[in-house]
Structure 1
Amino acid sequence: MECTAAVLLLGLLWALLWLLYDKKSKTTTSRLPPGPPALPLLGNLPQLDRHAPFKSFLKMSQTYGAVMTVHLGWQRTVVLVGYEAVKEALVDQADDFAGRMQMPFLYKATGGYGLGISNGERWRQLRRFTLTTLRDFGMGRKGMEEWIQEESQHMRARMDSYKKAPFDPTFLLGCSVSNVVCCLVFGQRFNYEDTDFHQLLAIIKELVMFVASPLGQMHNIFPGLIERLPGHQHKVFAHMETVRSFIKKKIQQHADTLDSSSPRDYIDCFLNRIQQEKDNASSEFFYDNLVSTVMNLFMAGTETSSSTIRYALSVFIKHPDIQEKMQQEIDDVIGRERCPNMEDRKSMPFTDAVIHEVQRFLDIVPFSLPHYTLHDVSFRGYTIPKDTIIIPLLHSVLKDEKQWAEPWSFNPQHFLDHNGDFKKNPAFMPFSAGKRACVGESLARTELFIFITSLLQHFSFSCVGGPDSVNLTPEFSSFANVPRQHQLIATPR
């Protein structure tokens, strides 16, 4: 009897929630884009593939169109599918879609400070300063390109030390890419044997894998619930504090040795700006913003580029003919003695095309970082209310069948014309587009070209199981596509 009463009570509660939800939907979504019916509390979550939710959005768009409304739990979300819709929103209506959702995981990591998930005047001040500062150091006496060239030599030397024995390149590539970011941000590189550095790289990789996992996505949707439950997430949260402590220690070391007339790196420039604007009440240059922006740059600049290079090596093993053709072009243009530089790229269309295709095919951030409407927005005849999450589905742009001849195959011809010259494609958006495009895009492009070209200049890559043993399908496919780890062999040329 008590059991029956409990079931009836639960049923009545469910019905009440549905009525409240339905009433709220009708009053606030009369001009929203169409979308699938949603359940109370859960929204459309039961309809999503938890391992690859972007595939579920693609399938839904076949019914509801390129602009559709879904509910992730209670969160009203508009998903933009395909190049035309994403470009129209992020580029043509850039001001309307420049807001950034404060993702709970990133908010927990940064306290809402820093560049990554800020909006309004904070975002404008920090973005302008960051772009200018990174550009200035890129053109300095020891600029971005020279740092990358120097680091590529350290990377090649370590790879050569394996003497053609199989090895996992994950940490080596992570060290190399992270050292470039460390030079720009901290003014120093770390030895590959540094155990503290290794620990930080392991933490960053674990944080990215957590965000890409179903548990990480549930935390972004139901943060209060997930943070109260026992589980792996608490270890991840503790790791975030380890990274913050490392950054705070570096900032203190910079403050203790600062010469305001000769800034060494990004932190010095920020500390100078804090001093210059200490009497400006509206300034966004203060300690918490420095800590969190450095954290944004350090973490984002490490994992994405190193994962892309690691994926490229897997592609070369999978497609040895492509590897050989790139090496021939490298030999013809650069030879095997001097370091590659960005000027070489103009004379290397096939290599440039392959690197672009690696980025397109990997599709490392299929959702982009979610945007957010800071006011009511009119778009394609719909009204998207303030406080709506916007997901520009970059996966649907990089795999748009109207923009790419063979979107589901690895094909460098996507970036080559009939004469074999490099050609741009406006649907190439791995760094997103518009006012929220990645601030590190220039750095990442330089890293990918110099590191990849330098590796193929000196090594041929293979694996014990041969090309057929390489799986190019990502290990995780949620917020981020994380490439699988493979043991590879680097044979000196």
Structure 2
Amino acid sequence: MLATLGSLAAALWAGFHFRTLLLGAVAFLFFVDFLKRRRPKKYPPGPPSLPFFGNFFQLDFQEAHLAFQLGLDSLPRVRREEVLDLIIKSSIISQFGKDEPEKDKGSYRRLIMSTDQEWKEQRRFALTTLRNFGLGKKSLEERIQEEARHLVEAIEEEKGQPFDPHFKINNAVSNIICSITFGERFEYQDSQFQELLKLLDEVTYLEAGRWCQLYNVFPCIMKFLPGPHQTLFRNWMKLKLLVSHMIEKHKRDWNPAESRDFIDAYLKEMAKYTGNATSSFHEENLVCSTLDLFFAGTETTATTLRWALLYMAIYPEIQEKVQAEIDRVIGQSQQPSTTDREHMPYTNAVIHEVQRMGNIIPLNVPRVVTFDTTLAGYHLPKGTMVLTNLTALHRDPAEWATPDTFNPEHFLENGQFKKREAFLPFSIGKRACLGEQLARAELFIFFTSLVQKLTFRPPANEKLSLKFRMGLTLCPVSYRICAVPRA
């Protein structure tokens, strides 16, 4: 009997051709993909998608936020109140997705992309440590003022000739977070630090590109193929190596009784959990958390300031009004401080309008609902990724008088500064930007210091553009401006 069954099985196997097996395997994979992509009852509608690739080929990766805004017409639109409710309501505290390409190298972000208990521990420690090293205190504001003087002097060295302000601004802004994380600032001519900033800039651009998103779809295949995603991996490893060198340098002269900066404080925290394999305080997380602070503390504020100088050069009449208010409130010799902000409504409104129009994180950061919930009558199962379209919010005609025009009056009412609920550049809720207070102080002091001492103009016979480069942030394309010292 067994011999008969064996012969029958052998005969059946011999009757199968490789082509038949291949077609069967493909059909099975398509069936599994179909089951995965079936929409639950009352799920938000969306455009038709391809097997495996989903809507990958429908997106324009150069203008992804506009594709969501205009192209995917079958996506549901929700009101501002519903967006705010989704982000802030405690019953659906959301966690960021972690499909970052660099996770393949074990380095996805700890303060931004980590989840659950690890995120709580790392964020709580980071906030406490930032406060200990000056966040919200006069000492940190004085560091920003000092760095603003260095930046003005560096730009004055251009003697009114056309120059690209990109890395001067990045260096200045980065020095603030570096003073907290590394315990030192870096000169603008420091070649090693300039290399670090260029790596950061390239990572910011590559990570949102088509190749890196394709890696997210097929990581097991893409990690063996050449392309920009491999450059991203190499850059992340270089950045991690540079931070690791900083940590080793700290270890050599570390004094547990006196923490000089974030790295020292983290080493002290790690020492408390020596031998505890379940602790989230270990060297890998120290490297990644330090990179988080360095990235977030540099890129977003520096990009906003680059947009600010560009808008001032394009709208000289607005720049003149800012300078008139500066002259009236603090004069030419006094260093701007955050206490001046409440007496300078127009300057404050201009900075907010730069953030609205610059729109540097147009789709916010991806969030994942932690359990089943309802939004605008639609059912969102646990694990659904949600993108908050801040472009729609910041350019909503129902909220803004001239949504597509740079207009500081959006934030003014009877000559006084007016807060707007439809303005969310730092997001809201428990996952809001932990450096918001620092960023606001930096934007005001750097911007006011620059416009106090310099007038920004387009180079002769050159027309400035508001075109942008899409990456993790929406930044202006490279541009040159002239910075003329004020009389």
For normalisation by structure 2, the TM-score amounts to: 0.90
1:22 aligns with 2:34: yes
1:56 to 30, 53, 67: 67
- Looking at structure 2, the residues matched to 217 and 20 of structure 1 have their Cα atoms a distance apart, in angstroms, of 22
What are the superposed Cα offsets for residues 380-428 of structure 1, whole Å, 9 maximum, x if unpaired?
A: 43332233222112222212222212211111111001x1100000111
Give the match for residue 484 of structure 1: 477
Give the match for residue 226 of structure 2: 230
2:465 to 471, 475, 478: 471
1:430 to 411, 425, 429: 425
CA 450–7 in structure 1, closer or farther in 2 if over 3 Å, else same = farther
Give the match for residue 120 of structure 2: 124
1:87 aligns with 2:84: yes
Give the match for residue 277 of structure 1: 273
CA 282–379 in structure 1, closer or farther in 2 if over 3 Å, else same = farther
1:408 to 400, 404, 407: 404
- The 5-angstrom pairing of residues 181-200 of structure 1 reads 181-200=177-196
- Looking at structure 1, the residues matched to 337 and 138 of structure 2 have their Cα atoms a distance apart, in angstroms, of 14
Give the match for residue 360 of structure 2: 364
CA 62–237 in structure 1, closer or farther in 2 if over 3 Å, else same = closer
Q: Which amino acid aligns with 2:476?
A: P
- Looking at structure 1, the residues matched to 72 and 84 of structure 2 have their Cα atoms a distance apart, in angstroms, of 17
1:293 aligns with 2:289: yes
What are the superposed Cα offsets for residues 53-93 of structure 1, whole Å, 9 maximum, x if unpaired?
A: 22222236654422xxxxxxxxxxxxxx55333211001x2
- Looking at structure 2, the residues matched to 143 and 430 of structure 1 have their Cα atoms a distance apart, in angstroms, of 26
1:307 aligns with 2:298: no
What are the superposed Cα offsets for residues 309-365 of structure 1, whole Å, 9 maximum, x if unpaired?
A: 111111001000000000010111111112110000000000000000101101111
CA 280–473 in structure 1, closer or farther in 2 if over 3 Å, else same = same
1:453 aligns with 2:465: no
CA 390–140 in structure 1, closer or farther in 2 if over 3 Å, else same = closer
CA 371–325 in structure 1, closer or farther in 2 if over 3 Å, else same = same
- Looking at structure 2, the residues matched to 108 and 482 of structure 1 have their Cα atoms a distance apart, in angstroms, of 27
1:205 to 188, 201, 205: 201
CA 391–139 in structure 1, closer or farther in 2 if over 3 Å, else same = closer
TM-fit CA distance, 1:44: 1.7
What are the superposed Cα offsets for residues 229-286 of structure 1, whole Å, 9 maximum, x if unpaired?
A: 2123322211111111111111122222222232111111111212233366653222
Q: Which amino acid aligns with 1:361?
A: M
Structure 1 residue ranges without an equivalent (≥5): 67-80
Q: Which amino acid aligns with 1:34?
A: P
- The 5-angstrom pairing of residues 138-217 of structure 1 reads 138=134, 143-217=139-213
CA 106–146 in structure 1, closer or farther in 2 if over 3 Å, else same = farther
Counting matched residue pairs gives 470
Q: Which amino acid aligns with 2:482?
A: I
Contact 2:205-2:471 at 8 Å conserved across structures:
no
TM-fit CA distance, 1:15: 6.5
Aligned-pair identity in percent equals 38
Q: Which amino acid aligns with 1:86?
A: V
- Looking at structure 1, the residues matched to 94 and 36 of structure 2 have their Cα atoms a distance apart, in angstroms, of 26
Contact 2:45-2:74 at 8 Å conserved across structures:
no
- Looking at structure 2, the residues matched to 383 and 140 of structure 1 have their Cα atoms a distance apart, in angstroms, of 41
Contact 2:307-2:475 at 8 Å conserved across structures:
no
- The 5-angstrom pairing of residues 223-262 of structure 1 reads 223-262=219-258
Query: Which secondary structure state, in structure 2, belongs to the residue aligned with residue 143 of structure 1?
Result: helix
1:355 aligns with 2:366: no
What are the superposed Cα offsets for residues 274-307 of structure 1, whole Å, 9 maximum, x if unpaired?
A: 2233366653222221111001111121121111
- Looking at structure 1, the residues matched to 143 and 91 of structure 2 have their Cα atoms a distance apart, in angstroms, of 35
- Looking at structure 1, the residues matched to 428 and 106 of structure 2 have their Cα atoms a distance apart, in angstroms, of 24
- Looking at structure 1, the residues matched to 184 and 333 of structure 2 have their Cα atoms a distance apart, in angstroms, of 26
What are the superposed Cα offsets for residues 4-54 of structure 1, whole Å, 9 maximum, x if unpaired?
A: x9999999887765544334444x622322222222112122322232122
TM-fit CA distance, 1:94: 4.0
Contact 1:366-1:479 at 8 Å conserved across structures:
no
TM-fit CA distance, 1:103: 2.4
Contact 1:82-1:400 at 8 Å conserved across structures:
no
- Looking at structure 2, the residues matched to 223 and 461 of structure 1 have their Cα atoms a distance apart, in angstroms, of 46
TM-fit CA distance, 1:477: 3.0
- Looking at structure 1, the residues matched to 338 and 456 of structure 2 have their Cα atoms a distance apart, in angstroms, of 23
Give the match for residue 58 of structure 2: 47
Q: Which amino acid aligns with 1:45?
A: F
1:443 to 417, 438, 444: 438
- The 5-angstrom pairing of residues 57-72 of structure 1 reads 57-59=68-70, 62-66=73-77
Query: Which secondary structure state, in structure 2, belongs to the residue aligned with residue 352 of structure 1?
Result: helix
- My pick for the range that moved more, 247-256 or 14-23, is 14-23
Give the match for residue 69 of structure 1: none
Return the index of the structure with the highest Cα Rg.
Answer: 2
CA 335–6 in structure 1, closer or farther in 2 if over 3 Å, else same = farther
Query: Which secondary structure state, in structure 2, belongs to the residue aligned with residue 153 of structure 1?
Result: helix
TM-fit CA distance, 1:457: 0.6
Give the match for residue 77 of structure 1: none
CA 145–98 in structure 1, closer or farther in 2 if over 3 Å, else same = same
- Looking at structure 1, the residues matched to 240 and 323 of structure 2 have their Cα atoms a distance apart, in angstroms, of 41
- Looking at structure 1, the residues matched to 205 and 341 of structure 2 have their Cα atoms a distance apart, in angstroms, of 32
Structure 2 residue ranges without an equivalent (≥5): 1-16
- Looking at structure 2, the residues matched to 316 and 291 of structure 1 have their Cα atoms a distance apart, in angstroms, of 38
- Looking at structure 2, the residues matched to 183 and 84 of structure 1 have their Cα atoms a distance apart, in angstroms, of 39
Contact 2:69-2:391 at 8 Å conserved across structures:
no
Say what the alpha-carbon RMSD is for the aligned residues.
2.5
- Looking at structure 1, the residues matched to 383 and 25 of structure 2 have their Cα atoms a distance apart, in angstroms, of 27
Contact 1:113-1:288 at 8 Å conserved across structures:
no
TM-fit CA distance, 1:189: 0.3
Contact 1:174-1:201 at 8 Å conserved across structures:
yes
- My pick for the range that moved more, 175-184 or 139-148, is 139-148
Query: Which secondary structure state, in structure 1, belongs to the residue aligned with residue 149 of structure 2?
Result: helix
- Looking at structure 1, the residues matched to 83 and 289 of structure 2 have their Cα atoms a distance apart, in angstroms, of 27
- Looking at structure 1, the residues matched to 336 and 70 of structure 2 have their Cα atoms a distance apart, in angstroms, of 43
